[in-house]
Chains A and B, each alone.
Chain A
Amino acid sequence: MSTEDVGDDLLETVDDEEEEEAMTAPEVLHKLEEAWLNEKFSPDLLPVKSNLVECMLDQIVAMENNISTLKKGDFRISVHRMEIDRIRYVISSYLRHRLAKIESLTTHVLQEEEKRRDSENVLMSPAELEFAKGYCNSVMTHLTNTALDHMPLKAATPNAKEIAVLPNLDSYVFLKVNENTENVLVEEETVDAREEIMDFEKGDQHIMRYKPIASLVESGGVSLI
């Protein structure tokens, strides 16, 4: 590698970091709201956005400290409080939707997490992962104690793959296009129909099945609405 290349690489990483740092609080909030809606409408668990959540929680803590320095009866107190309540609502709703999915798709999300372990894009935060494992264990213990112990040995060995509840990736979702994307495969070729390909234009809204656009939701090319 020539020195020039090294220089370029360095520059790029610096750029990336700066980009992350340069994201303002309103932008982070906007991203978080988008993540909230995506999580709300997608049938599958999406990779966790810990950095957004933590950033907003930090902002809230900082704001609460600021509020406590204000004089009692200051006009700003109720305004800031109200905003904090709004942001808290988004954060807790986001996390609740995730927990609900982790509970209903426990085995599936644990398997997915396993696949992604080495990549940077983890599916669950450490706390969520702990919860998922604990929940999985509790359910298994419960099933073992109440039913499996009283069954013939052959039936009493459940297979994780067989009992996993899978998300219905074919469910229909509404989406809005954020970035022009060409050649989206809407419908795979089947016996009685040809494959269908579409171009997404920024600002378009569609209703279609989740599966073909799952990767676009993750990359931010489209958002669910």
Chain B
Amino acid sequence: MDPSEVEFLAERELVKVIPNFTHDKIYLISGDVGPFSAGLPLPVPLWLAVNLKQRQKCRFVAPDWMDIDVLKEKKQEEADSRFFTPMPSPHYMEITQLLLQWGTDDIPKADEIRTLVKDIWDLRIAKLRSSIDVFVKSGESHAKLNYLTLMEINTVRLFLTKALNHMHQLKSVTSRDTTNSNSQAF
């Protein structure tokens, strides 16, 4: 999957914005949004938030977890744990990326937040790589991936699935299973 498609999915998440205009409820197909009243924060889908920001119609409100202390704690927890820890948002990376890209001024201490989120990402990706190594070497046929976010899965998707497909094929050939001979490799 293209990373932009993961971002597309992340854009459905709700974030809070403070509009600078007043408007009745908007009846979207994906659900109602609003009513907007100038100065009052309300949740909107991320794609709409970015669009409003681009038209200078709102300010972003940082999500609760987008906070130096919370993220530092999270980073420590991630570093201490052998396993993946649950993230505050299933799309934390994309949301951070989009909010900081378009509204650096609205998010307090944007630079530090960017660094912390990147640190957490790096920790998790390093963990992911080493667990893939263990998984592949173990020759197991399945693995549980709880708390991995879609963007993280997506970074290893092609490599991992292809490698496992090949390994499975080799294994089934050695066990004289010929049913695969005319199947198509994707």
Task: Provide the bound-state CA to CA distance between A84 and B30, in Å.
Answer: 10
One of B59-67, B75-83, B159-167 contacting the partner: B159-167
User: In the complex, which residue of chain A has the Cβ closest to the Cβ of B182?
Assistant: A166
Question: Among the listed stretches A6-14, A72-80, A109-117, A131-139, which one makes contact with chain B, having 4 or more residues with CB under 8 Å of it?
Answer: A72-80
Query: A40, A166, A205: which contacts B184 (Cβ < 8 A)?
Result: A166
- A contact residues, total (Cβ < 8 Å): 49
Which residues in chain A, 179-225, are within 8 Å of chain B measured between CB atoms?
A: 186-187, 190-192, 196, 198, 203-209, 225
- Check if A29 sits within 8 Å of B30, measured CB to CB: yes
Is A174 a contact partner of B29 (Cβ separation < 8 A)? no
The total of chain B residues at the interface (CB under 8 A) is: 39
Tell me whether chain A's interface is mostly helix, strand or loop, or mixed.
mixed
- A-side contacts of B160, CB under 8 Å: 172, 207
Interface string of B158-182 (1 = CB under 8 A from A): 0011001100110010010000101
Indicate which residue in B28, B161, B184 contacts A172 across the interface (CB closer than 8 Å).
B161
Q: Is B51's CB under 8 angstroms from A78's CB? A: yes
Docked CA distance A128–B7 (Å): 30
CA distance A207 to B154 in the complex (A): 12
Complex interface: chain A residues within 8 A of B157 (CB): 174
A171 at the interface (CB under 8 A from B): yes
Q: Is A104 an interface residue (CB 8 A)?
A: yes
A208 to B140, CA, bound (A): 9
For residue B28, which residues in chain A have a CB less than 8 angstroms away from its CB? 79-80, 83
Which A residues touch B165, using CB under 8 A? 168, 170-172
User: What residues make up the interface of A, taking CB atoms closer than 8 Å to B?
Assistant: 25-26, 29, 33, 40, 43, 56, 59-60, 63, 75-76, 78-80, 82-84, 86-87, 89, 104-105, 164-174, 186-187, 190-192, 196, 198, 203-209, 225
* CB<8 Å pairs between A and B, sample of 13: A83-B30, A165-B184, A166-B183, A168-B184, A170-B172, A187-B142, A196-B141, A198-B142, A204-B144, A206-B143, A207-B143, A208-B141, A208-B143
